[in-house]
Structure 1
């Protein structure tokens, strides 16, 4: 497929209402020519929408419309204290479907995809925001069981944050100062408390009877590309498999990349979306493009000339 110039692309800031209450702040980027498909990027915990800018612009440069956003209580979508009662499940079961539905309504006549990072991919794996999707890509999404972290030093560090420091701030302040703790953006306290609870269960949120996670995951029936990295100490291959093995009806493809594959010294949990990791973007683009062409081949719209194989 051809590469469009991002210089002439447009960006629109939008506010998307959420059924639970409030709204999320988002940015819709459109290519210079009519978009051939749409991608919604669902963020990780304590990660601002800014991290996804370069990757979003890359996709826009190849003809995709792309939506990025912050979960409620993070970034531009309200303060953590004002949203202190929000749980992690509210992000997954309310925010994710809300932005997906908005995107589908805004661009109704083109194929839709999603990219989920960490908890964003977990939400998709639980069948949230998947209605009408032609497929989704998960980046470093896993069953986040603390004791399953193989690196001992990282296991102790994460355990301290999720079991001691984070819950203490949540109870005392109603929020977690992620920036001060070095774990990313500030987040609502109830998010941390639920995350902490799940991290101590043998099978993460699949062991929370109030969530019905196994039943939700079993309903996913689209194409799924689950990507992990050899130097990600959180989302290890074992924990990625622990999540995506629960999707029996999905057409699943697993890939694991090393820093050497990307020509970078490290990737970790966040590095894929940084500009330095752009060598790993073309395989994801190709995966999205292949499914876009497949959908358009079977529609009355046909394939735009700039995307036809010459």
Structure 2
């Protein structure tokens, strides 16, 4: 396997390629406040199985720029600009190869709205859902998320120009506008489907590629019901739904991020790999 750092404008990424000619090229579009290094093991696994895989940080996060210096960047910019830019770069880098994508949380939102491009042979949305806070079933978790998204986050964004998400237990620091936009969408029953500026329902209806939507029984945010609220808008696509429990993965917990950890490498990763390989035939 060959590993190289890449630059796509301001976006920093890492490309992992198999030693032989790849069977396909895939981009992992990350979750909010989740650094690209978190996806390294899974990306290496895919590359070791013949799929060239690109990981990256959204602008204003991780290696793609300071969140304070990029305070005006919002989630909408990541969805509508960063995801298409990385998708286009990968298609150019691997012409003629099947193009695939995995979107984790907000990365899956971008794919579900068609920003991964019409050239994809298939796409996976992982722990992606209509992320209304009101839909979180656990009362304690609902109160915690409201405190972070609607009180602490906006207050820190106003004072600092960015959100120290690491200190809040949310992962990597993020730009102020991203936090404000996240919080605003989370107040809406339909999340960004209730934001007219996103034209989300119309865009989701244009997606026609095979979609695998993966969720987990112990994910407090992306519950099966909230995932269905997202995939229900994919009216033009063939959507396959899979919901795994920790027992399925042979681990104590999976939650919102655990699928990307090595604990489920031998139990759950092969099933997703098989689905991806099927789309390339």
Give the length in aligned residue pairs: 280
* Counterpart position of 2:271: 283
Question: What is the aligned counterpart of 2:224 among 227, 237, 241?
Answer: 237
- For residues 149 and 181 of structure 1, the distance between their equivalents in structure 2, rounded to whole angstroms, comes to 19
Alpha-carbon deviation of 1:186?
0.1
State the Cα distance separating 1:191 from its structure 2 match: 0.2
Deviation string, structure 1 residues 251-286 (Cα, Å, up to 9, x no partner): 100000000000000000000001112121011000
| Greater Rg by CA | 1
Residue of structure 1 equivalent to 2:75: 88
Instruction: Give runs of aligned pairs for residues 160-179 of structure 1, distance below 5 A.
Output: 160-179=147-166
1:250 aligns with 2:237: yes
Stretches of structure 1 lacking an aligned partner (at least 5 in a row): 1-8, 18-22, 295-310
The residue number in structure 2 matching 1:77 is 64
**CA distance in structure 2 between the aligned counterparts of 1:216 and 1:69, rounded to whole angstroms:** 24
* Alignment check: 8 A CA contact 1:259 1:265 kept: yes
Residue 43 (1) aligns with residue 30 (2): yes
Contact 1:98 1:129 in 2 (8 A): no
2:195 aligned with 1:208: yes
TM-score normalized by structure 2?
0.99
Gaps (5+ residues) in structure 2? none
In structure 2, the residue corresponding to 1:135 is in which secondary structure?
strand
Q: Provide the rounded CA distance (Å) in 1 between the counterparts of 2:42 and 2:108.
A: 16
**Deviant stretches of 4+, over 3 Å:** none
For 1:93 and 1:54, the matched residues in 2 are separated by 27
Q: CA deviation at 1:130?
A: 2.5
Query: TM-score with structure 1 length normalisation?
Result: 0.89
Q: Tell me what 2:137 maps to.
A: 150
**1:24 lines up with 2:11 in the alignment:** yes
What residue in structure 2 maps to residue 13 of structure 1? Answer: 5
Deviation at 1:209, TM superposition (A): 0.9
Q: Matches of 2:136 and 2:3 in 1, distance apart?
A: 39
Q: What is the CA-CA distance between 1:109 and the residue it aligns to?
A: 1.3
